Structure 1
Amino acid sequence: MQDILLLEDDKSLNRGITFTLQKAGYSVTSAFTLAEAESCLEESRYSLIICDITLPDGSGLDLGRRIREISDAYFIYLTALDSEIDMVNGYEAGADDYITKPFSLMVLVSKVNALMRRIGSAKEEKGVMACKDIEVNCREMKVYKDGREVALSKKELQLLVYLWENAGRIVSKENILEHIWDVDGQFVDDNTVTVNISRLKAKLGTDEISNVRGLGYIWSGKVIRR
């Protein structure tokens, strides 16, 4: 059973989400403050963390940044902050997804299921892919540049592998959303792909990813498998 940490200070909403996810087959640990969540993270490992941003003892953005330093767990922000800059801040803090309130529990479960499927499929990947000074160990789910490990979120890693699998070909935003997020774009903000592409380019320090206006993105470097 895959473990989820839910940080939501609204007790009624916390109970509702917990019940729904448990009914879907997940093990859920509930926390209502940052302090409680950090204590849970010290004691256990989680496949997914669902986190509010506005909390009684601080900001969920700070927790996201700290988690990205120590963990590659999937991370979803679930918040009432719905402006474009709020979403950008969420993704820059390390989120794999950003859901605004009010929201559908059915959509939340669908997103959680999609993320968990990615965990399973990523573990089944084998071999090593490389392009110039960047290398991806698909079995270990790790990325290296000049021999040094680069900390990528699971979404960023999946995005990189998808671009490499299609190296030299343009992939549209719609194809990326469908492949990486398992959705058709209806429930994902259009900035999701743009923000994740920007984060990936910055972390890898590469100019191999190009935006083809009106069409999508392309990885121009030669990718080899071994």
Structure 2
Amino acid sequence: MRTQLTGKPMSPRDGAQHVLLVADDPVVTELLTTTMELAGYRVAAADTGAEGATRIAQGRYDLVVWDAALPDPERLGRGRRGASVDRPPLLLLAACDTLHDLVPGLRRGDEDYVVKPLRVAEVLHRARSLLRGRGGPERIEGVPCYGDLVLDDAACEARRGSRPLGLTPAEYRLLRHLLANAECVLSKEQIGRHVWGEYRAHGAIEKLVARLRRKTDQEAPALIHTRRGFGYWLGCPDG
């Protein structure tokens, strides 16, 4: 059962981390509420942006999960100069075709996103990273990384060591998805849905992976690998 919204602010007396979920899709709300409560969080939910902003003003939350399809949460101080340092970290649920507008405005360290259709494991992973703050194993000062591969979501740029990769938007989305699922094999269907939001022929995905591999794997060790008959994955086989 999800936490009921009442007039009283939530208090962390039980030591659990408190999450506010703001989404207008009942299926998403039920899925994430159940999953996050099983993971040990206390979850409250709101189904409009106005209600979510009111809850944040009235209560104390460790993390806000906000569906980016709702009105932009500018009232939370997002992107404003001098925004309150007390505002909780923000995890946005975004459609892939909105990333070009969304990602450049993200603030390092206390904002992140996951792409629809949602993968519960990724939502939990991003939530843990935001709640840890800086210094978690998947981030360097709030920046996603794997070995010497570093991504800058604010600028939509990637580099290998000191070398910029010069990725196209589609290449960046693919690399970001591979990195978010490091050491897990992603099928061509999963990649196509994430990068383009629709089905694409396998040949188009193979060409995109090949272009990304040429830019990413100029140094050793190679990071992008093929699992024949299954898909692609990012990692170091010997690492």
Task: Provide the TM-score with structure 2 as the length reference.
Answer: 0.49
Matched, 1:28 2:47: no
Task: Provide the TM-score with structure 1 as the length reference.
Answer: 0.51
Q: Of 121, 124, 137, which aligns to 1:106?
A: 121
| Residue pairs, 1:105-144, within 5 angstroms | 105-118=120-133
Matched, 1:192 2:153: yes
Show the counterpart of 1:49: 64
Show the counterpart of 1:6: 21
* 177 and 109 in structure 1: CA distance in 2 versus 1, 3 angstrom threshold: closer
- Higher relative contact order, chain-length normalized (CA < 8 Å, sep 6+): 1
Which amino acid in the other structure matches residue 59 of structure 2? S
Post-superposition offset of 1:37 = 0.6
Post-superposition offset of 1:28 = 0.7
Which amino acid in the other structure matches residue 60 of structure 1? P
Q: Of 91, 96, 107, which aligns to 2:106?
A: 91
| Residues in 2 aligned to 1:38 and 1:72: alpha-carbon distance in whole angstroms | 11
Which amino acid in the other structure matches residue 99 of structure 1? V
The structure richer in helix per residue is: 1
Q: Would you say the 8 A contact 1:76–1:98 is kept in 2?
A: yes
Post-superposition offset of 1:88 = 2.6
Post-superposition offset of 1:94 = 9.0
Matched, 1:74 2:74: no
* 39 and 61 in structure 1: CA distance in 2 versus 1, 3 angstrom threshold: closer
| Residues in 2 aligned to 1:176 and 1:21: alpha-carbon distance in whole angstroms | 21
Larger-Rg structure: 2
Q: Report percent identity of matched pairs.
A: 25
Post-superposition offset of 1:61 = 5.0
| Residues in 1 aligned to 2:118 and 2:29: alpha-carbon distance in whole angstroms | 13
Q: Would you say the 8 A contact 1:92–1:195 is kept in 2?
A: no
Matched, 1:60 2:91: no
Residue 83 of structure 2 aligns to a residue in which SS? helix
Matched, 1:39 2:51: no
Tell me, which stretches of 5 or more residues in structure 1 are unaligned?
Answer: 119-157, 163-174, 197-211, 217-226
| Residues in 1 aligned to 2:109 and 2:151: alpha-carbon distance in whole angstroms | 17
Give deviations 1:25-55, integer Å, cap 9, x for gaps.
0011101101111221122111111111222
Q: Would you say the 8 A contact 1:7–1:50 is kept in 2?
A: yes
Q: Would you say the 8 A contact 1:65–1:94 is kept in 2?
A: no
| Residues in 2 aligned to 1:43 and 1:60: alpha-carbon distance in whole angstroms | 16
Q: Would you say the 8 A contact 2:144–2:151 is kept in 1?
A: no
Q: Would you say the 8 A contact 2:109–2:143 is kept in 1?
A: no
Tell me, which stretches of 5 or more residues in structure 2 are unaligned?
Answer: 1-15, 166-239
| Residues in 2 aligned to 1:190 and 1:37: alpha-carbon distance in whole angstroms | 30
